[in-house]
């Protein structure tokens, strides 16, 4: 006798307090993602490869604790029993690992502004992937946003004389990650999903820590109490925004999420300019301004079409 796969019950969509709470949850997630560069900068002298390795291991530990507290192990095991689903989560894990690694390297290399650029253009990348991979029909305003963003990237390349690899790697890895998560749909809850992704990555992270220990040396516990506490918090720092996002995205309309999602890169931009004092010449302002125009066009399109009864959903996720 087959057993039904346990899934989380669908949340009640309240029009008043429910949407208000959902907006606060989602905004909280994006605010935490927006100030995340400051956390990684504070982890010096720990290098980016060690940071990400601890992030994977400690996220897995944190998720295991959450699964125990929330009695979610049945849901987690149910996913493991479905090979296709488990393999998709493994692919998602590889993609989010690339995203995490590139983001931490960018942050610790004084390239927070370029990282924020990647997340500004991420919604546009998502639309482009929907066309190329899912063969979805794109509206005129969406094509316009894609075109403006492409011109902006070309302008930045010409002005700087180099390709913004960090930005492109971040938007590509997270865009495909969102595509994979869309294939999973609502069959995997947030805690089980992150637990399985980090479980797949755990051998890589452990090997990474072994190489670091044999070469430069592990920094955990060697740079003071405050640094140790910060580094040990990597699991919670990773999981909490994802859980807030999961709680918020199920309670608010797509148009609201479309606007809230830009809070993350906006805060990253502010951190890069106002706190970390990264250079912002006129050519970069122009490039970013064009990207912002593209984002505004995409947001307007989402607001206009979210009120129609049949609208193809756009994948909007956090990541970081």
Q: What is the pLDDT of residues 87-140, one digit of tens each?
A: 999 999 999 999 999 999 999 999 999 999 999 888 888 888 878 887 778 788
pLDDT at 183: 79
Give the pLDDT confidence of 134-186 residue by residue, as tens digits: 777 878 888 888 888 888 888 888 877 788 899 999 999 988 888 888 777 67
pLDDT at 131: 80
**pLDDT-based confidence at residue 36 (cuts at 50, 70, 90):** very high
Number of domains in the chain: 1
Give the pLDDT confidence of 206-244 residue by residue, as tens digits: 999 999 999 999 999 898 999 999 999 999 999 898 888
Mean pLDDT, the chain, rounded, equals: 85
Averaged pLDDT, 72-100: 92
In a domain? residue 110: yes
What is the token pair recorded at 184?
């999973």
pLDDT at 19: 78
In a domain? residue 319: no
**pLDDT-based confidence at residue 17 (cuts at 50, 70, 90):** low
pLDDT at 255: 63
pLDDT at 6: 47
> Half-sphere exposure of 152 toward its Cβ, with a 13 Å CA cutoff?
26
Which range of residues forms the domain containing residue 293?
Answer: 22-306
In a domain? residue 320: no
**pLDDT-based confidence at residue 245 (cuts at 50, 70, 90):** confident
Please write down the HEC assignment for all residues of 219-260: CCCCCCHHHHHHHHCHHHHHHHHHHHHHHHHCCCCHHHHHHH
Q: How far apart are CA 302 and CA 132, in angstroms?
A: 19
**pLDDT-based confidence at residue 252 (cuts at 50, 70, 90):** confident
* Among the ranges given (147-151, 278-282, 310-314), the one the predictor scored with the smallest mean pLDDT: 310-314
Averaged pLDDT, 262-284: 91
Q: Residue 85 in 3-state DSSP?
A: helix
> Is pLDDT at 54 greater than 90 in this prediction?
yes
Averaged pLDDT, 245-274: 82
What is the token pair recorded at 271?
């951190």
Q: What angle do CA 301, 127, 312 make, to 5 degrees?
A: 65
Q: How far apart are CA 245 and CA 86, in angstroms?
A: 22
In a domain? residue 6: no
Kindly give, in sequence order, each residue whose CB lies less than 8 Å from that of residue 249, ignoring residues fewer than 6 positions away: 22, 26, 257, 316
pLDDT at 202: 96
Q: What is the pTM of this model?
A: 0.84
């Amino acid at each position: 006798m087959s057993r039904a796969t346990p899934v989380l019950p669908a949340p009640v969509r309240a029009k008043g307090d429910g949407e208000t709470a959902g907006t606060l949850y989602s905004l909280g997630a994006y605010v935490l993602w927006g100030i995340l560069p400051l956390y990684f900068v504070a982890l010096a002298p720990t290098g980016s490869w060690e940071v990400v390795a601890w992030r994977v291991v400690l996220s897995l530990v944190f998720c295991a604790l959450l699964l125990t507290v929330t009695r979610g192990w049945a849901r987690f095991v149910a996913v493991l029993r479905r090979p296709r689903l488990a393999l998709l989560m493994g692919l998602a894990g590889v993609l989010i690992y690339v995203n995490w690694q590139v983001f931490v390297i960018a942050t610790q290399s004084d390239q927070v502004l370029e990282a924020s650029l990647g997340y500004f253009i991420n919604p546009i990348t998502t639309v482009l992937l929907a066309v190329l991979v899912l063969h979805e029909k794109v509206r005129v305003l969406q094509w316009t946003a894609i075109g403006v963003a492409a011109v902006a990237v070309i302008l930045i390349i010409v002005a700087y004389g180099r390709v913004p690899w960090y930005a492109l790697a971040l938007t590509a890895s997270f865009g495909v990650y969102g595509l994979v998560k869309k294939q999973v749909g609502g069959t995997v809850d947030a805690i089980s999903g992150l637990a399985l992704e980090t479980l797949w990555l755990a051998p890589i992270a452990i090997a990474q820590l072994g190489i670091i220990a044999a070469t430069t040396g592990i920094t955990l516990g060697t740079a003071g109490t405050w640094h140790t506490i910060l580094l040990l918090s990597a699991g919670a720092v990773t999981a909490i925004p994802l859980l807030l996002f999961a709680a918020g995205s199920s309670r608010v309309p797509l148009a609201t999420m479309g606007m809230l999602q830009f809070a993350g890169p906006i805060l990253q931009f502010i951190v890069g300019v106002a706190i970390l004092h990264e250079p912002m010449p006129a050519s970069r302002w122009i490039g970013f301004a064009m990207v912002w125009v593209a984002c505004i066009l995409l947001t307007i399109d989402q607001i206009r079409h979210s009120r129609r009864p049949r609208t193809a959903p756009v994948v909007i996720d956090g990541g970081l």
